[in-house]
A = this chain, B = another copy of it.
Amino acid sequence: MSISRRDLLRLAASTAASRLGQAQESRKVGYCMVGLGRISMQHFMPACRTTRQSRVTALVSGHRDKAERMAAEYGIPRENIYSYENYDAIATNQDIDAVYVALPNSMHAEYTIRAAKAGKHVLCEKPMATSVADAQAMVDACRAANRKLMIAYRCQLEQTNLHAIDLIRSGKLGKVEAIQSAYGFNIGRNEWRCNSKLAGGGPLMDVGIYSLNACRYLTGEEPAELHGYASVIDQDGRFKEVEENLAWTMKFPSGVVASCDTAYGADMPGYYRVHGSKGVLHVDAAFGYEGQILTAHVQGQPVVSEPNPAKDPSHFVLEADHFAECVLRNMTPKTPGEEGLRDMQLMERIYQSCGRKLA
């Protein structure tokens, strides 16, 4: 009796599946990666090696070779590799509790809705979608299927940002009066993010969204009014479809005003400054994967200075485990679909005020 290579692989896969089965008992949520790009391969998957409640159990990719390499690296059975065509078959795979959607923005809606229909929970990267209608459809589909939906707003789980929120809520800064925030970078050539059909919009959708979201979680309010200016300078042909720079202001119901800025045409390190009636809070590198630096000057108090929190746990560990916990304990995620939908609605209004629109 001869054993073929195929048989050997099947055997290996079934052994792996059995291992996965055991782990399931220790209540780890099995994630299927939807899209094998930088954020999945370099951030989410490595992070899952150190999570308490999460593991990567399946992959969806259009590149079989890459998927097989990653599967081997993470001990994922070959049966758990899907293409975009047979993606709906995840429905019958018990190794998969949830999907992590890390595709170009325009594909988020389709692959979220298909996952919900397949009975899987969805952790979806930001921006949630490329239109308000798509974002609403995602919320509706997950609700109809009784599946959890979380948008991957890392910063709302990250310790420095949480400390900033605590400082504000404690009243130490007095009444918040004004916020400034910016985030941008000089984008490379031939990025899908400069294709309006794939990205929906430019830097506002991709990185400006961090400042927008921060102004909302720092104040705990929704902006009542917003207005922006977008510009395209385009020295080198990168900005035929999306905006290059966008500055906008917002006014919140309590009277807080915010001025924000984003760009694909220049490096613009992420930060925010919160000006209260009793003190000023400054967070540098506010939105990066690590290296947040918090400084607070409060009247009559020693300066609070917290540079560079420990790199571990990574934001991706926090995010994977938070959603896993929501799935396991039937809790609402801290940043559910509705949170992403709200940002989409606000970004649509910012674009409208600029005389632009979502793709």
Contacts and interface: CB of A to CB of B under 8 A. Distances in A.
Contacts of A231: 251, 255-257
A1 B310 CA distance: 89
A263 B275 contact: yes
A255 B280 contact: no
Interface string A49-74: 00000000000000000000000000
Contacts of A166: none
A233 B249 contact: no
A266 interface: yes
Contacts of A268: 178, 273, 275, 280
Copy total for this chain? 2
A255 B244 contact: yes
Given A180-B182, A266-B178, A275-B263, A257 B280 contact: no
Nearest to A280: B267
A288 to B, nearest CB: 15
A258 interface: yes
A46 B268 CA distance: 41
Nearest to A231: B255
B225 A229 contact: yes
Interface in A114-136: none
A247 B249 contact: yes
Contacts of A235: 175, 277
Contacts of A232: 255
A249 B275 contact: no
Scoring A248, A249, A276 by chain B CB atoms within 10 A of each residue's CB, the highest score goes to A249
A255 B266 CA distance: 13
A201 interface: no
A43 interface: no
B249 A259 contact: yes
A283 interface: no
A274 to B, nearest CB: 9
A246 interface: yes
A195 to B, nearest CB: 20
A267 B281 CA distance: 10
Given A233-B254, A280-B268, A178 B275 contact: no
Interface string A215-240: 00000000001011111110100000
Contacts of A260: 259
A180 B177 contact: no
Contacts of A228: 249
A257 B251 contact: no
Scoring A180, A232, A244, A247 by chain B CB atoms within 10 A of each residue's CB, the highest score goes to A247
Contacts of A297: 267
17 contacts: A177-B244, A178-B182, A178-B247, A178-B265, A182-B259, A182-B273, A186-B277, A229-B251, A231-B256, A232-B255, A233-B255, A245-B256, A247-B251, A247-B257, A248-B249, A259-B260, A265-B277
